[in-house]
Amino acid sequence: MPVTRRGFLSAPAALTATLLPTGLLAALNAQIPAPPDLSNWEAVRAQFALDPAYLHFASFFIASHPAPVAAAIDGYRRLIDRNPFLVVEQGLFETAEQNLPLQVQTEIADYLGARAQEVCLTGNTTTGLALVYQGLPLQPGDEVLCTTHDHYSHHESIRLATERAGASMRKIPLFDDAATATTDALIAAMLKGIGPKTRVLGLTWVHSSSGIRLPIREMAAALRARSGPPVLLVVDGVHGLGSTDETVATMGCDYFCAGTHKWMFAPRGTGLVWASADNWARLRPSIPSFSDEDQYVAWERQSAPASPNNANRMSPGGFHAYEHQWATAAAFRMHRQMGRARVAARIRSLNEQCKAGLAAIPKLRLHTPMSSDLSAGLVSFEVDGIRPPELVKRLLARNVIASTSPYAISYARLAPSLVNSPEEVERAVRAVREISM
């Protein structure tokens, strides 16, 4: 439930009511610009102010704000700068119709196939993972299982939470070589890894090390079908959201954490966690929320909230960069306009082209599966005799922006995305080929 009680954490009700000019909500809503033409990929690319001197193959790292998102941020910023109190007060604490975080949650829910009240707004993937793992009712002796392939933010969220609870964490490999992994082998490795104390399993949808995309839907189904105590599934979904045609809320995970400032092109410093109402009720919040009325009223009455925990109560409170949080809706609208299936098909075709081109280079070893069913927008590779940072440096010297994966074993990465064309992919592959000769 969003906060709709007048004056929550701010001005007394009567003062707020008399101060509010009519038309402020209309002014706020007017900041969402009319949709641009996104009917072809050149038009989509034109929404980004990316430096044309470079080929941008590391866009998944952090988004360049496309024009509709930049316009929404600017609009909200102008309004907040003119009237910080009135705009933030009304945008957060007035009626449900005026509540801007709720509008963002509604837009996100539509994309995820979820309900607005199941969506928790966070600042990034890392915060979402930490909130979930810290919130789980782990007991001494419980085990959180994850994989050797997960990101630093995921591993550390588990380590910090299990240490505090007196629980343990264990990491298992799901494959030796991502490039040759199969759905059956991934499922078998996952099931084999689950032990008698395992209560929670952490998986990563699209790995930023090897580029493999785990078949989460199939793995979640196998997890549910096994006998034994139930295991909650937490997914770091950041590189699948916005690159893959999936309905996240039906994929089978219990907690889905993602930043929206990568593939979704939402403002930098935005993210989400999705869970069902039952799964939110299992968690304990660790940061006071500014968006759950029951929590605030209970505090006024000097008691604990009587209602079950929920997504809003998990959303970190304190004031935020609201022009960024609110403009998240513009990014999700842009994705809806482009079409989830159409976006995924474009990313798939650019990545297939990239992988085919790289695979034909003699001294190059691909770490990402060739199958588009087990990959998404990241292509990881090594070239014999050239260390990944050196390779990335040499690509940059040819104005190709690539990246290295931030893991103990690091690879070079190209990430063809909506800001690239087939011709750019061809040029990037050619640059790798020339460097490798």
Which residues are near ligand PLP by CB under 6 A?
Answer: 124-126, 151, 153, 204, 208, 236, 238-239, 259, 271
Which strands form 379-383's sheet, in the order they lie side by side?
A: 364-366, 379-383, 412-414, 403-404
181-205: b (≥16 Cβ within 10 Å) or e: bebeebbebbeebbeeebbbbbbbb
Cβ nearer to ligand PLP, comparing 153 with 309: 153
Cβ nearer to ligand PLP, comparing 264 with 400: 264
- C-alpha span between 191 and 185 (Å, rounded): 10
Residue linked to tokens 């952490």? 202
Closest approach, Cβ 204 to ligand PLP, in A, equals: 5
Structure tokens at 139: 């007991």
Amino acid code (one letter) for 172? I
Structure tokens at 126: 């890392």
With CB atoms as reference, the residue minimizing the distance to ligand PLP is 259
Closest approach, Cβ 403 to ligand PLP, in A, equals: 10
Amino acid code (one letter) for 405? S
Q: 283: exposed, middle or buried (C-beta count within 10 Å: 0-12, 13-18, 19+)? A: buried
Structure tokens at 249: 């809320």
Cβ nearer to ligand PLP, comparing 124 with 289: 124
Structure tokens at 407: 């893991």
Closest approach, Cβ 147 to ligand PLP, in A, equals: 11
Which residues lie closer than 8 Å to 87 by C-beta, 6 or more apart? Answer: 24, 28, 76, 79, 80
Which residues lie closer than 8 Å to 356 by C-beta, 6 or more apart? Answer: none
Closest approach, Cβ 273 to ligand PLP, in A, equals: 12
Cβ nearer to ligand PLP, comparing 151 with 213: 151
Cβ pair 171, 146 in contact under 8 A: yes
DSSP H or E segment with residue 164: helix 152-165
Residue 89 C-alpha from the chain's centroid: 28
Give me the residues paired with residue 182 across strands. Answer: none
Cβ nearer to ligand PLP, comparing 146 with 350: 146
Structure tokens at 165: 């609870």
Closest approach, Cβ 423 to ligand PLP, in A, equals: 27
Closest approach, Cβ 214 to ligand PLP, in A, equals: 11
Residue linked to tokens 């081109």? 357
Cβ nearer to ligand PLP, comparing 195 with 406: 406
Cβ nearer to ligand PLP, comparing 155 with 393: 155
E-strand stretches of 135-251: 143-147, 168-172, 198-204, 232-236
Cβ nearer to ligand PLP, comparing 125 with 325: 125
Cβ nearer to ligand PLP, comparing 80 with 241: 241
Cβ nearer to ligand PLP, comparing 178 with 386: 178
Amino acid code (one letter) for 385? G
Residue linked to tokens 């299936």? 341
Closest approach, Cβ 182 to ligand PLP, in A, equals: 22
Structure tokens at 123: 């600042």
Q: Which among 86, 57, 31 has a CA at the least distance from the CA of 328?
A: 31
- C-alpha span between 331 and 108 (Å, rounded): 9
